[in-house]
Amino acid sequence: MTQATLGELLGISFQQVQKYENGKNRIGAGRLQELSHVLQVPVAFFFEGASEVDEKPAPGAANEATVPSYISDFLASSDGLALTDAFMRIPDAKIKRSIVALVEQIADDENE
């Protein structure tokens, strides 16, 4: 698969795919999940062969592997699972971005 094709499937430019591939930009959890869906591999595929590190992060350093409890609670709920499953089956990245924007707008309206 070309970088251009992968970028198109993810709704990003091939230059962004290159930056991910070269390690110039980090890949967030959501993008990693989307990437695993597009490539039809489990997320764990990207960590195969990675050595486990027993080192503790420096005091005050953010632990990127830590998932906020509200996210894990949401994903553990039936609504969270259903929403995540349905969202990941949407093939069009533009539609996905529109859904995220809609939900953010609804949330903002509710908090006013």
Q: CA-to-CA distance for 87 and 46, rounded, in angstroms? A: 21
Please check whether residue 36 is in contact with residue 7, taking contact to mean a CB–CB distance below 8 angstroms. Answer: no
Whether 57 is covered by a domain: the verdict is no
The encoded tokens of residue 16 equal 């962004």
pLDDT at 54: 46
Check whether residue 75 and residue 34 sit in a common domain.
Answer: no
Residues 2 and 42 placed together within one structural domain of the fold: yes
For residue 55, tell me if it sits in a domain. no
Asked whether the beta carbons of 99 and 90 are under 8 A apart, the reply is: yes
Question: What are the per-10-residue average pLDDT scores of the chain (112 residues)?
Answer: 89 91 86 86 76 53 61 78 85 88 88 74
Q: What is the pLDDT of residue 15?
A: 93
Q: What is the CATH number of the domain that holds 32?
A: 1.10.260.40
Which pLDDT belongs to residue 31? 87
Query: Which domain, by its residues, includes 92?
Result: 68-112
Instruction: Give percent helix, percent strand, percent coil of the chain, each to the nearest 5.
Output: 60, 0, 40
- Total domains present in the chain: 2
Phi-psi region of 60 (alpha: psi -120 to 50; beta: other; left: phi over 0): left
Residue at token pair 């809609």: 102
Contact 16, 25 (CB under 8 A): yes
